[in-house]
Structure 1
């Protein structure tokens, strides 16, 4: 079973700056149930060959012969690829006599129900240390087979990834019998603790503009308007559903720019402007913040954040600039800022999520001090459309949102029941009413107040 590679000549590839030495993996978990008790069910040799050939055809960068850095520790990272003599990653075989697919299905693929070799896989790779940019673990159980595919974000371009998933799924199914049911549980998950241990091998980065601006905000006097709103108007969590039709219109409305903003970045700009207009006389020094962590569901819960680490970046923008800048230009600034950052900045952001005195802790203190109406955090992505960057998720998932969303925190989710984007926002009703009347949104969105789950 062979798939022709589209590239035959050697070439080099420059990594995203955030991938320097650290390459978070996108993990795909597949489970196939051997309900008919076929012999030689999913032959290991055939699986290994299929995996290598699919990589060669769809994501040849994953077979990089060598990876080098021009100026350690945070220099340009370059991979050399020769598809004629690829460096095939090792494919590992395991046997598990304790876990069964039947039990996993009954428990909804909860982490404790899955084979430890898959549930506890290392989510990060260090290509400079020789770690492969792709991996496959095969676990044979009593009633089926579990497959874990790990692909570094450094190699996962949208087109190649979709092609890989389609080819890999099709070729794997051909090694099984078509009438057998297939169970899939896919995830994109970054172990922040492990990531931080790896990153802190480098010197501590200097304070970022984000940290300095938070310090400036902490010293700003609370405005009377902020205090009145926080005392008189309760907040709630709202779900803003943005269907595909609006996403398509937003994509078409983008004017040529370098770079052209992503649709989520443009949606962020529209929401920012709507929110700042709805705020009661915000302090002139106040700036909205954007967190470009691409949030992904993990076991149907967002109690802990998980996401595509290479798009994580904080952005802040003064109110005066936001109000007097065209929406398209704001979107370009958001998009550009989400792309341009260093590994050191990213490391600091990760630490901010882990420490009480970090970013989320500071947000919580602003809320406690009555500054909530002046806060806005939104999620943006480098991808053009979320449905094109939905790394393997097979369909809409029920999202259980954490009960303690800080006021002003807005999170975009990649899938909604309407096939577009859901934005969850904790704010006051007056702010939501202003958003509902925004000229660019009012005819295309639905807003729901979220009750307790």
Structure 2
């Protein structure tokens, strides 16, 4: 039975930058514009109770340090603006007008850290601890805050939840901001890595504008759970994949993605002739020679691999990992540029056709999640929100234990239960 939770909201306010931005508007790139159709990035960090700080002081200190952090990241205190050009065409800009980020303080005194991180399936409690003040879709960021933070006091800890408009940030930019905020919260006068912005220049990009008020992500009610892979398990997976494939080029993450994909297909009892699709979010910063690592905005695209269920399963771990390795090896400067130049379209996201849903891999174990120390120690866990999760969506996070990886997986309950007893999957 789900635990009954009383969530008490103490306060809510807009936090503005401590000083105005040196520029007023930013032009959105094509990847930013494509994100108008989907939902915000939602992530949360879980911390044990700070021992030396009264909660009231902690909340005020977080608001003050957030205001200072927004000085370095003015887009997150701004709003989207749109201009209609007739014929269902429109252009969008990011107005760094310092309208403010939303900050909410709440208390859930009956909820402990163990209630959040110990259950097999991620409990509904988690979704209640995320801010509700932001847009349901990124398009609505015209009127809503682009960043919202909810700090919830737990019985034995602090849950800091973030919701950031995906038309303004991708995963790299998001964690760049959170890490920088945590540095300021610890007392730093400046941040260790300054963001790089693409200032507006020339004419606005025109796009065909459908009814974006309608969420184009098909929501799923599928449960979510976290599968943890220790450093030792990952080493064994990588060794097995390379051994089977007769190579040394398969990375740890590629072996893990192949391992997860094959178990998912086995657990879905997929017909052998069915096409199984893997979608991987590819970071463009390291691939595009002109894109700095500190670029603040969206710089990622999707690469897709399709294979029949029979070939996927009969080819073994090594065979699947080689296919993934080949796909990722093809992603270079030219491929990333072509992806950036593709026409901006707004198609529905989610299951299409009668086959199994695609497995969609997002986030990255390279994000420095556990380096986000706000002054009272490192987090003990990370979770994502449940805003319109699609079946088949997987977020990859570093594990709390050094060198490990956590997979936060959204799949049908019968698939997850089958994976839990899939001997090849659980005994690495």
TM-score, length basis structure 1: 0.45
Larger radius of gyration between Structure 1 and Structure 2 = 1
User: Normalized per residue, which structure has more helix?
Assistant: 1
Q: Determine which structure has the larger strand proportion and give its number.
A: 2
